[in-house]
Each structure stands twice: as structure tokens, then as C-alpha cells.
Structure 1
């Protein structure tokens, strides 16, 4: 038996669920997620701090537009951007960005940065910028809120639905997934690292998505030290980030971006070692044991910007892909842009007022 709906969304991460939740106001949505639970891959492995040290102008604009909605599932937690003496020019540029977006920030000295993060070595931080408006996001709550919105609207998320075939019959897209058939006039490709694979099954031109692996380690803080108030700390250039996980644990990453095939990513020993070494080089923290480590795939288009819009020559096939590492912090704005693209509605007024335009997101810029 074929299940028919108004919108089929392939991919149950933050991109697919946030888009689906908005589309559910316009018709019945079925979300197909290949794994046993939504948010299994990149969305379930994200550290998810919303800050302005990520991406370029377009991504930062989307972040600014998303912050009011993100506050519902986020708590203010300072972001400390540190710079060595060789990175001061990059810190100047980041300060300009914070000024342009009206952030609640301060440029501080290395000594002031060490007052916020006492383990920071003096040679690792000549100056810093602290953003008091950064948000630590509850990613689980965000995903569950979208799931609840879908259920309330009478829409469905199907897990364990691995897509094996896609065809267009002139009126609808038919999708075979784990022995079931689904059909809808509009098919939204929010498959993350697998977005090009879905396009290939549908006979649609690829956009050149590149999954990149990022590794995170967890380790114990100093004995009897409550680190919950330590800031999310990130180097302005190559280096690492560090943030508290509860009272006695810390998370860190070397911010690696190793190209990968789409897969259930796992950390490699070298990446774990590099992350630990960079933390030990810049701080007085002794990492004697890695308590836990994991890796996730962040997916990028060739120009590292999100791809949202109808595919050329494939009526009803819509891309929602390429969010990179900013999926959660840009989801509120991107989902509204996706809603307008899928339905042919006017581009969101606040996005247009911020000098964004549909053409910046359209797959046509990539020949798709």
C-alpha cells in the first residue's frame, strides 16, 4: 500500500525536522529517517553553542535572525574567543563582526581572559573577546519540540526508513524506503551527508556535498574544581574549543574537518590525540584519561553556504542541505527560508531586510 501525503521530507536531523514542522501548517508531512531515532548523526553529536565565531557573513546573519527563537531552548553562557599574539588581526575582524551584529560583548586582555578561564596559559592568549549573549542550546529539546509540533499537526516521523529508490511519475515523487512506498508532490531533501546520494537516486543533478568529520573528547576537569561557569572557549584561528559538561567534566575539539564519505562517523586515535594535545599546549589541564570521544559529520556545499531551493529540471524536488556546523544555530531562520522556497511564498521579510535573498541559497548557483 502506498502512503500519500503533501510533503515528503528525507532526513530527520535538525534541518529536516525544523523544515517539516513549518510545512505541517500547510499540509500533511511524512519525515523519513533512516536510523532508529531522529537526530542520530550530526544533529545528535553537536556541541551546539550559538555564537558569532562560526561561518561567514551569511551564516552569522542567519544566526542573528535565529537568536530570539533559540532562546526558548538555550541558556546564556559566555563565549570566550582567544587570540595569541599572532592572531590579533583575526580577533580585530571578529570584534568588528560582534559590533556589526550588536552583540553584548567586550574586548578584554589576556589577564582578564585568564580570570574567566584560570587554566589558560599566558602565551596562549594575548587578548580575547567575550560574548555574553552566546547560547548553550538544548539540542534534544529542540528536536523534540519539532517532533511534538509534527504530531500535533497530524504529521508523521518514520524511523528505520532507509530510502532505496525514488521516481517521479509526472505528478508525485514516489519513494521506496524499507519495504514501504510513500508519495507526495513535494520531496524535500534534508539528508545531510547523504543529500547527494538522495539526489542521485532521484536522477537530480548533484550539488557536491562534502561531509567532514569532527571529533570531540570528554575528560575530567581538575579535582574539586566546579567548571560549570567556565566559558565556552575557542581560538580565533586554528586551535581548539573547550567547554564545560556539568560540574566536573570538559569537552574539547581540535575543530578538525577531515573529508569523509557519508557514514556513521567514529573518532580516530590521531584526532583524539591532537585534540588533547592542543588543550594541554594552551592550558594547565592535565588530560590523563579520555572518558569518552565521538565524531560527527558536518556537511558542506562547495561554497560552504546552505543550499535551499527547487532543483533544476526536477519539479517538486527541493534541497535543504549544506548547513555545515551551524545547523542548530541557524535552524529557525533557515526553516522559514525553506518554507518559503518549498511553497513559493514571499521570502521572509526580516531575512530580506538583513540583505539576504533567495538567490544566495538556490541550488542554481551550483549548477543544480
Structure 2
């Protein structure tokens, strides 16, 4: 363990990935916080395997308010949190063929109505932004504000801020059991016993398992395997290539360095929580889909990895008190957008369980659509 857990805490956060770490940083100035992680190091699973970007339309219109509200905190963080921002410019194209024109039109109109800076572009603009794109790809929506996120530095900054404010991090400390008492929880983490007033479930793919261990009904948080490969190409593709996302969700790719890209088949293979590994079939599918879009020769597969992306049944994140057990707090279902929404989710959830009220754009977000109560009958 990095630290031995204290015998008692106000808030026990289960999971030290981006969700748990960001909440710990937001809450630690106001409450005693213990952050526990089953692995040897925080961020081993989804957080550490993310090809993350801030892409305002990613995740759909239900996620967009959280992404938009998080932009300023990621781009211009407070000086006591980081010495510079976590974003670097990228741009994005949501791409389709001629038969996808209606889908691209609908995508553009839907996000324009939400205030997203997205514009419809045609074949000439596509060819200028994607060298070697095949002739049948004629429809796209362009977002200039899309940016890469320095995930490792952001995650480290959250953990550092949490510790500076007094939070304790314990690794190799899985939650083994939890018993509800009249004034909180008796919890076993690793080999230690802890008293906690509240439990926050930020366990990612393990969220429903943690709920069950606490005697709380699961919400149906489903993990899906997602594959990413790094390709070295036989053509000089620029490092600042846009993030290119298929309008139908069959691929995305972006420049990584000169002549290299990161590529995903945008796969969502249902699975249980585990240490995900890439399947050769998914790597082959990714490359096949890429070669249907561009005429680039693939020189080598340099890296390949997989992570788990976990979704609630309606594919929007879930944060807030459980509807039947108010001392059990959900912070789960962040899909592939947990990093770009982490400032907003952490600030909004912290305000519900004892932190300060968020200001600025985050303070204007209505958290009610993300409450677990939406899964109760009649909500």
C-alpha cells in the first residue's frame, strides 16, 4: 500500500482512476477522504489506457453539458493545481460517405442546437485535412476546438491535489466487504478495517460488483472492451492530423507523431470486469476499416492495447446518492468520456456530499439528469 488506511474516514472512495482521483481532489479540502485502489498503482485500467481527447460532441448530447463545462478547467487550470493546461490543439472531423449525408446533417444540427461550434464541410475540405482520403468520403462535420488531453499529467495532478488537501491513498486495497450500520459503514479494504460515513463507488468496470459487496442493488453498469493500435505508416501523415470519427461509430483515428497514428475500430465488446487485452481480430478489423477510408500503406503495428469502457443503460454517466441507500454514492458509467468530463463531475458530486458549490460554467450544469434516481420507476 502507498498508505495504510486510517481506522475511520468521512468518505471512502473506491477506485483511484480519473473518477475517484478527481473527486478526491475536489472533496478533500472539506471532508476526510480515503481513496482505495485494488491495483498496485492508481489508473491501471481505463484511465491508463485512454487515447483521450476533449471532443465536445463525443458521447452525445446528454454528455455534452459536462464536457463543455469542463473545458476551462482543463485548458486553464488554477495555478495551485497545475502550472499549465492539459489540452493541446487537435481539431476533429465526424466523417461519412455520400450515403451518410443525412446522418452528418442531423449530427451537425443536433450539436449546433446545443451551442457546439460545429460546421458542415464537404469533399474539398475533407481532402485538405486528411491527405489520401478516398473519393467516396464526401461528408463531414468539423470541430475546431477538439484537443488532446495529457491524461497522465491530469491524473497525477488530481492525486497530488488530493494528498495536499489531506486525502489518503491506499493501493493493493480492494473493497472486500461493507456492512451498513446505524451511522455509516464497517468496511474491509485489503486486510484493514475502516469506519466510513459514506462510500463512493468510482470503481469503473467493477462498479456493480462494489455495489453488490455493499448490499446495494446494481444499476447495470456494463463494461465493454475497446481496442487501440499505434500504426507506423508508409506515407508522411502529419502529426496534427485531425481526430477523425466515423459518423456511424465504426472507427476513429488521429495523428500521434509524424507518420504515426492511433486507431480504434470503436469496438464495444460486452465483457466482465478484468484486465483487458487486445484481440488480433479487432486489430485486423481496425486496419481494414482504416484502409477503406485512406490509401495509406501500413508499415507496422507498433503497439496495441485494450481497455474497458463502462456504460449505464442509457449511456450517460451516473453520479449521486443511491435511491435506496443514501450513504452509498455512485460515480460510474463514464464510458469513453470520463476524462474530458472529470472536472465537472467531480465538482458537482463533491458539492452534493460536503464540498463547495461549483462556480462558473460547471455551476450552471443541472446534475439531476445524471442522478441514479433516473433508473427508479416513475422518474
Q: Report the TM-score range of the alignment, normalised by the length of the smaller protein.
A: over 0.9
1:243 aligns with 2:254: yes
Partner of 1:216: 228
Contact 2:237–2:255 (8 Å) recurs in 1: no
**2:106 is the counterpart of 1:93:** yes
Describe the shift of the 1:48–1:2 C-alpha distance in structure 2 as closer, same or farther (beyond 3 A).
Answer: closer
Q: Which moved more, 1:94-103 or 1:41-50?
A: 94-103
How far apart are residue 150 of structure 1 and its match?
Answer: 1.0
Distance in 1 (alpha carbons) for counterparts of 2:357 and 2:91: 36
Conservation of the 8 A alpha-carbon contact between 2:242 and 2:254:
yes
Aligned pair partner of 2:318 in 293, 298, 307? 307
Change in CA separation of 1:113 and 1:24 when aligned onto 2, cut-off 3 Å? same
Q: Quick one: distance in 2 between partners of 1:186 and 1:162? A: 16
Q: Does 1:342 align with 2:318?
A: no
How far the C-alpha of 1:167 sits from its partner, in A, is: 1.4
TM-score (norm 1): 0.93
Provide structure 2 residue ranges, at least 5 long, that are not aligned to the other structure. 76-84
Q: Is the 8 A contact 1:79 1:233 kept in 2?
A: yes
SS in 1 for 2:62: helix
Contact 1:351 1:357 in 2 (8 A): no
> What SS does the corresponding residue of 1:37 show, helix, strand or coil?
coil
Question: What SS does structure 2 have at the residue aligned with 1:283?
Answer: coil
Quote how far apart the aligned CAs of 1:206 are.
Answer: 0.9
- Cα 1:199–1:15 change in 2 (3 A) is same
2:42 aligns with one of 38, 41, 50 = 38
Distance in 1, Cα, partners of 2:32 & 2:212:
26
Contact 1:347 1:357 in 2 (8 A): no
Q: Which has the higher helix share?
A: 1
Which residue of structure 2 aligns with residue 20 of structure 1? 24
For residues 226 and 269 of structure 1, do their structure 2 counterparts lie closer, same or farther at Cα, with a shift above 3 Å needed?
A: closer
What is the root-mean-square deviation of aligned Cα atoms in Å?
2.0
Instruction: Check the 8 A contact 2:234/2:299 in 1, yes or no.
Output: no
Q: Cα deviation per residue 1:118-162 (whole Å; 9 max; x = unaligned)? A: 021111x11222211111000011101101101111212111112
What's the secondary structure of 2:231's corresponding residue?
A: strand
Give the distance between the partners of 1:117 and 1:62, measured in 2 at CA.
Answer: 29
The change in CA–CA distance for 1:25 and 1:228 in structure 2 (over 3 A counts) is: same
> What is the deviation of 1:98?
4.1
Give unpaired runs (5+ residues) of structure 1: none
Measured at CA, do residues 6 and 42 of structure 1 come closer, stay the same or move farther in structure 2, by a change above 3 Å?
same
How far has the Cα of 1:47 moved from its partner? 0.9
**Partner residue of 1:80 out of 93, 110, 115:** 93
**Residue number among 128, 132, 137 corresponding to 1:119 in the alignment:** 132
Tell me whether 1:263 sits opposite 2:274 in the alignment: yes
Within-5 A mapping of 1:98-109: 98-109=111-122
Structure 2 length normalisation: TM-score? 0.90
Equivalences, count? 364
Distance in 2 (CA, whole Å) between partners of 1:145 and 1:194 is 24
Whether contact under 8 Å (2:30, 2:355) holds in the other structure is: no
Q: Which string of whole-angstrom CA distances, capped at 9 and with x for unpartnered residues, describes residues 210-232 of structure 1?
A: 00111011110235x25212111
